[in-house]
Each structure stands twice: as C-alpha cells, then as structure tokens.
C-alpha cells in the first residue's frame, strides 16, 4: 500500500467515515471476492507505480468482481487505466485517493467527487467526518455538497487550469453562511437549511482548531453570471439549454461527416437530412429522459446542480454509429 505521509494521514481519518447501509448492501454480493483480491494486492505490497502490473495478472472474473464491487458501469479496460485509476480499483472506498491533485478520484474509467476532499486539513477533516456520521440519507448528501470546490466552476467558465482550493474552516463557514443566509436572489429550501444547521452544529462541536474567517474575496463576474442563470432559469431549464448547445453542435458535425462520406448530390442531401433528423430526434429523446430524472432528484442548491453538471459525460456516439450503419 502507498506509504506517503499525506495519503496515510488521509486514510487514517477516512476509515472513520461510516459507510451508508445502501452501499454496504450493494457491495455485499461481491465483498468476499473483492477481499481476496485486496489481500493478495496487500501481500504483494501494491503501490501506485505497480497497481497496473497487478491488474494485468487478474482473470476476467476477478476484473468483473472489482468492477461490480466499485459500482462501475463500464468494464475495466486494463490498457486505458492511469496509475491512480488502477490503484483505487484495488482498495476499499475509504482508501481511495486523489493522487494527481485534480479534485477527483479516478476509479477505473470513473471520475468521482471524493466524499472527503484531499485538500481538507486534518483537523477540519476529522470534525467533518464526525459531523457527516451524525447525518443520514439526503441530509448527509446535502452536507457533502458544502465541500464542492468552486474553483472548478471558475476553471470551466474561464477555460483556465483548475487549481484546487483548500477546503478549510474558512471555506466551510462561508459555504454554510451562503446557504443559511442566501443573497442576491439565491434560494435555499427549508430541508436544505435544516440539514445544513444540523451538520454545522455537529461540526462546530467536533472541531478543535482555529476558527479564523477571512474577508470575502471579490467574486468572478463570469461565475456570478453562471450562478445567476441557475437561479433565474432553474436547474432543469439550465441543463436543457446547456445540452441543446451541445446537441446542435453534434448534429452539425454529423451532417458534415455524412456529406463527406456520401457526397452532396441532391439525392444524397435529401437522404442525409433524413438521417440527421433521426439522429437529432434520438438525442432529444435522451436529453428529455435525462431531464426527467433530474426533476425527480429535487435539486435544491447551486452546489447540487453544479455537481450534476460537472458529472455529465459527453453524449455517447451510439445513435451516430447506428445511423452511419444504416447509411452504408
């Protein structure tokens, strides 16, 4: 196992984070097989630099066990794994870590937002975990969105490199204040306020460090506009508009690809427009299904909405492949 100080300090705390019953129940059918693989990996003293080599030796059944235990939708592709993605496949949830400092935890092909940010100082981390353990279900999930790094939004909006923020007492206190006393047209639901108060009381009781709060920094206009759009349009409408821009771009790329492959004769152009129409219809149906799911999730805060937005993956090309097959 990795022995660097930052990692060992991190997992010394995260081992105290209670696993939800839903996660325990999901992993149970695969737990025995995973523990055997885990034990073998520890016996071989697998580290970040050797995890890929260890995975290369595993059977397909063992890979399937690891995939299921980690709750991954995609099969494990040994060739595409980064060192971080490989190592995190082989350890328990509370031992997975953001080794490359990009604010995500790579587990196989998945990029996950960590339950406990790696940039959280040890004293804050211990209190944060104790406070989370006092919460259940939706309350716990709402409290976890307080640690969302807004630096991600700044980087995404301004197209600049992402620089992880330190999620310290100052950062948490400002997030709590913004949620309990929203300004500038922002809104926080009663259930979110209640969960936030419960978390903050538990955190304050557990935290033994310095409680210094700096002055608020000047906000980024681009980020403020992003958040304002979320508030005024609503999360689902914002997602719809955001995705429509991507759909229109993909449709035009699809049209140009077909013209290049099929030609631009009047007969072919008519057929191309029919294929483009089918493609756009399918993408729109997939978008609507996704938005229906988001409405069911009852998005209450910009933080929750932003997490959904950043977790979204580019549309897969299955409809495109299907239509190209038809045209051949």
Note down pLDDT in tens along the chain; length 328 residues.
Answer: 777 889 999 999 999 999 988 889 999 999 999 999 999 999 999 999 999 999 999 999 999 999 999 998 889 999 999 999 999 999 999 999 999 988 889 999 888 888 899 999 999 999 999 999 998 887 888 888 888 887 777 777 777 888 888 999 999 999 899 888 877 666 677 888 888 999 999 999 999 988 877 766 666 666 666 656 655 555 556 556 666 777 788 888 888 888 888 888 888 888 888 888 888 888 777 766 765 655 544 444 444 445 444 444 444 444 444 343 333 3
Question: What does the CA dihedral 77, 247, 159, 301 come to, rounded to 10 degrees?
Answer: -90
Please give the backbone phi and psi of residue 168, each rounded to the nearest 5 degrees, phi first.
Answer: -105, -170
Total Cβ atoms within 10 A of residue 103: 22
What is the pLDDT, as a whole number, of residue 192?
81
pLDDT for res 300: 41
What's the CA gap between 67 and 35, in Å, rounded?
13
Q: Which long-range contacts (CB under 8 A, 24 or more apart) does 120-125 make?
A: 120/147, 120/166, 120/167, 120/168, 121/166, 121/168, 121/209, 122/9, 122/13, 123/207, 123/208, 123/209, 124/167, 124/168, 124/169, 124/172, 124/207, 124/209, 125/10, 125/13, 125/14
Domain ranges in the chain are 5-112, 122-219, 234-327
Which residue has 């935890």 as its token pair? 105
- Predicted local confidence at residue 249, as pLDDT: 80
């Amino acid at each position: 196992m990795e022995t660097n100080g930052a990692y060992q300090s991190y997992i010394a705390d995260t081992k105290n984070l209670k696993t939800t019953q839903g996660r325990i129940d999901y992993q149970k059918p695969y737990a025995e097989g995973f523990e055997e693989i885990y034990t073998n990996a520890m016996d071989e003293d697998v580290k970040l630099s050797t995890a890929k080599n260890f995975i290369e030796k595993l059977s397909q059944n063992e890979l399937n066990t690891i995939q299921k235990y980690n709750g991954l939708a995609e099969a494990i592709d040994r060739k595409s794994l980064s060192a971080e993605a490989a190592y995190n496949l082989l350890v328990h949830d509370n031992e997975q870590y953001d080794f490359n400092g990009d604010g995500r935890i790579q587990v196989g092909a998945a990029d996950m937002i960590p339950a406990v940010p790696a940039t959280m100082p040890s004293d804050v981390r211990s209190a944060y975990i104790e406070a989370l353990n006092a919460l259940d279900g939706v309350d716990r999930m709402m409290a976890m969105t307080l640690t969302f790094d807004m630096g991600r939004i700044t980087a995404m909006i301004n197209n600049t490199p992402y620089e992880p923020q330190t999620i310290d007492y100052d950062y948490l206190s400002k997030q709590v204040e913004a949620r309990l006393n929203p300004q500038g047209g922002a809104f926080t639901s009663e259930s979110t306020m209640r969960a936030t108060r419960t978390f903050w009381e538990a955190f304050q009781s557990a935290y033994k460090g310095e409680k210094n709060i700096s002055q608020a920094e000047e906000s980024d206009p681009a980020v403020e506009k992003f958040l304002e759009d979320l508030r005024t349009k609503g999360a689902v409408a914002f997602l719809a508009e955001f995705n429509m821009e991507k759909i229109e771009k993909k449709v035009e790329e699809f049209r140009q690809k077909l013209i290049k492959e099929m030609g631009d004769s009047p007969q072919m152009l008519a057929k191309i427009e029919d294929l483009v129409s089918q493609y756009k219809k399918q993408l729109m149906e997939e978008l609507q299904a996704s938005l229906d799911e988001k409405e069911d999730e009852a998005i209450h805060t910009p933080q929750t909405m932003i997490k959904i937005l950043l977790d979204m993956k580019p549309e897969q090309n299955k409809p495109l492949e299907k239509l190209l097959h038809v045209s051949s």
